[in-house]
Amino acid sequence: MNSDLVVVGSGFFGLTVAERCARERGMKVLVIDRRPHVGGNAYSADEPTTGIEVHQYGAHLFHTSVDRVWEYANRFTDFTSYQHRVYTTVRGEVYPMPINLGTINQFFRAAYTPDEARALITEQAGELAGTDPQNLNDKGIQLIGRPLYEAFIKGYTAKQWQTDPKDLPASIITRLPVRYTYNNRYFNDTHEGLPVDGYTAWLERMADHPNIEVRLSTDFFDVSQPVNKGAVVGQVPVVYTGPVDRYFDYAEGELGWRTLDFEQEVLDVGDFQGTPVMNYADDDVPYTRIHEFRHFHPERDYPTDRTVVVREYSRFAERGDEPYYPVNTAADREALLRYRERVEAETAERRIVFGGRLGTYKYLDMHMAIGAALSTYDNTLPDVLR
Beta strands across the sheet bearing 212-215: 212-215, 29-32, 5-8, 238-240, 352-354
Local structure of residue 379 (DSSP, 8 states): I
- 357 assigned to active site: no
* 8 Å CB contact between 211 and 30: no
- DSSP-based three-state secondary structure for 341: helix
Least gap, CB of 367 to ligand FDA (angstroms): 6
**Minimum gap (Å) between residue 135 Cβ and ligand FDA:** 25
Measure the CA–CA gap between 260 and 291, rounded to whole angstroms.
13
- Whether 68 sits among the annotated catalytic residues: the reply is no
**179 catalytic, yes or no?**
yes
Active-site residue 289, yes or no? Answer: yes
In the complex, least distance from residue 11 CB atom to ligand FDA, rounded to whole angstroms: 2
Q: From the CB of 34, what's the least distance to ligand FDA, in Å?
A: 4
DSSP 206-270: HH-STTEEEE-S--TT-TTSSS-HHHHBTTB-EEE-S-HHHHTTTTT-PPPEEEEEEEEEEESSS
State the alpha helices, DSSP H only, in 328-365. Answer: 330-350, 356-360
Least spacing, CB of residue 91 vs ligand FDA, in Å:
26
Residue 303 · residue 330 · CB < 8 Å: no
Is 312 catalytic? The answer is: yes
| Catalytic option among 138, 192, 204, 312 | 312
First-residue to last-residue Cα distance in the chain: 18
The CB-nearest residue to ligand FDA is 40
CB neighbours of 7 closer than 8 A, spacing ≥ 6? 14, 15, 17, 18, 29, 30, 31, 32, 238, 239, 241
Distance in Å, CB of 219 to ligand FDA, minimum? 5
Lay out the sheet containing 257-267: strands in order across. Answer: 93-97, 86-90, 277-280, 289-292, 307-316, 257-267, 325-326
33 three-state secondary structure: coil
Residues that bind ligand FDA (CB under 6 A): 8-14, 32-35, 40-42, 57-62, 219-221, 241-242, 260, 324, 356-358, 364-367, 369
Q: Is 333 noted as a catalytic residue in this protein?
A: no
For residue 341, indicate whether it is catalytic: no
Rounded Cα–Cα distance for residues 271 and 223 (Å): 48
Return the active site residues: 175, 179, 258, 289, 312, 363, 365
